[in-house]
């Protein structure tokens, strides 16, 4: 999956925060306080996200509605899975990842892995 540009990430954030499909105008207005963008720029960005498979466009309504294809967490999982798939050494890649995440994220990861280990031991 190609990296997303700053505007693409901002537009996806709008879709994720909404939780429901948005019109181009709604996305444009949500971005206006921070960015002075042309309506057509937002439309082009939404269409680009749809071509990349990250947003879907419902053209059945009078105004085209856009929504994210996956949640933020699902997209992150797919990106991480893809990254691990191209890593030469999956173990080394994970160690480097753990080195760069925040202490809070590292603690949450350790807790989750500990819980999964306990669950597996109970299954035996």
Of residues 122 and 81, the one with the higher pLDDT is: 81
How confident is the model over 43-50, as a mean pLDDT? 94
Mean of pLDDT over the chain: 87
* DSSP secondary structure, 67-113, as one string: EESS-HHHHHHHHHHHHHHH-SSHHHHHHHHHHHS-HHHHHHHHHHH
Q: Are 24 and 66 in contact (CB under 8 A)?
A: yes
Of residues 67 and 88, the one with the higher pLDDT is: 67
How confident is the model over 19-47, as a mean pLDDT? 92
**Single pTM value for the model:** 0.67
The span from the CA of 45 to the CA of 47, in Å, is 5
Model confidence band, residue 100 (pLDDT cutoffs 50, 70, 90): very high
């Amino acid at each position: 999956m190609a990296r997303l540009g700053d505007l693409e990430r901002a537009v996806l954030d709008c879709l994720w925060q909404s939780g429901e499909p948005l019109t181009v105008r709604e996305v444009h207005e949500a971005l206006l306080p921070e960015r002075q963008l042309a309506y057509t720029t937002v439309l082009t960005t939404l269409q680009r996200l749809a071509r990349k498979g990250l947003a879907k466009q419902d053209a059945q309504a009078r105004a085209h509605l856009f929504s994210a294809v996956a949640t933020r967490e699902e997209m992150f999982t797919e990106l991480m899975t893809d990254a691990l798939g191209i890593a030469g050494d999956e173990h080394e890649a994970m160690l480097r990842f753990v080195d760069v995440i925040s202490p809070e994220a590292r603690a949450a990861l350790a807790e989750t892995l500990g819980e999964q280990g306990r669950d597996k031991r109970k299954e035996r």
